[in-house]
Amino acid sequence: MEKLCSNKYSITTSLPESYAQSKKNALSGLIIINNMTENAKWLLYNLTVVFALYWAGNLFLWFPWSFNANLGIGLMFTIIPLFWGIGIYHCLIRYKGKKVLTGVIINSIIMLVSAVVSDYLFFGLIRGAMDDLYQPATFYGYGFLIIMPFLELLFFKRIIIKKRRPLTAKNFISWGALGLLSLLVLIVVIKFDIQV
């Protein structure tokens, strides 16, 4: 039972324990994020963005790729780079270090390692499709993830420096929600074998 009071009115509402506990857990998670060092917070933010981009990208490609592999590959090389470019930009404008190049190098490594591990887990372990994974297009994609942060720095350095902003809990929540929703939809699609 939770009692909410304002000036002269009192409202009593009954909240399920699980809701109250989940609200408490979410708040404690935000407190942990706020108490992290800026570098640790930025690294966690990069991982959150990669998580969101990876699963949203796979969800976006799932149906076109299952319909026609060439269509999926075409979208992977045209639309998906825009997704990753936006995510990398959001990571770089929140980097607090003095040298943006250091942030670019770290971001590039995080993007590549996270994508390789996620691909292995998703395609290798979950879908059992290792033969489909290690195709030339996959390695081009990995190469793209390595150079994309450097290209953004080369072409948008002034904008990145000018638009710098601090990390907030809202940044984590929005990217995390996108990734979690995309992952859950993909799980449903795979579990129930939803076809086009």
Whole-angstrom distance, CA of residue 103 vs CA of residue 84: 16
pLDDT score at 149:
96
Q: Comparing 125-129, 159-163, 175-179, 189-193, which segment has the lowest mean pLDDT?
A: 125-129
Give the H or E element holding residue 3.
Answer: strand 2-6
104 touches 88 (CB < 8 A): no
The residue ranges of every structural domain in the chain are 1-35, 37-191
Greater model confidence, 166 or 35? 166
pLDDT score at 4:
41
pLDDT above 60 (res 10): no
Greater model confidence, 6 or 115? 115
pLDDT score at 20:
61
Greater model confidence, 190 or 173? 173
Which residue type sits at 23?
K
Whole-angstrom distance, CA of residue 182 vs CA of residue 43: 22
If you average pLDDT over residues 102-114, what whole number do you get? 96
pLDDT above 70 (res 111): yes
Highest mean pLDDT among 17-31, 62-76, 145-159: 145-159
Percent of the chain exceeding pLDDT 70 equals 82
User: For 134, left (φ over 0), alpha (ψ -120 to 50), or beta?
Assistant: beta
List pLDDT tens digits, range 49-106. Answer: 999 999 999 899 888 888 888 888 888 888 999 999 999 999 999 999 889 999 999 9
pTM here is 0.78
The tokens describing 132, both together, are 């489909």
If you average pLDDT over residues 118-128, what whole number do you get? 82
pLDDT score at 38:
86
The tokens describing 24, both together, are 């408490």
Nearest residue to 89 via CA among 25, 12, 40, 155: 155
Mean residue pLDDT across the chain: 83
Token look-up 């470019």 returns 85
Give residue 7's pLDDT band: very low, low, confident or very high (50, 70, 90): very low
pLDDT score at 138:
82
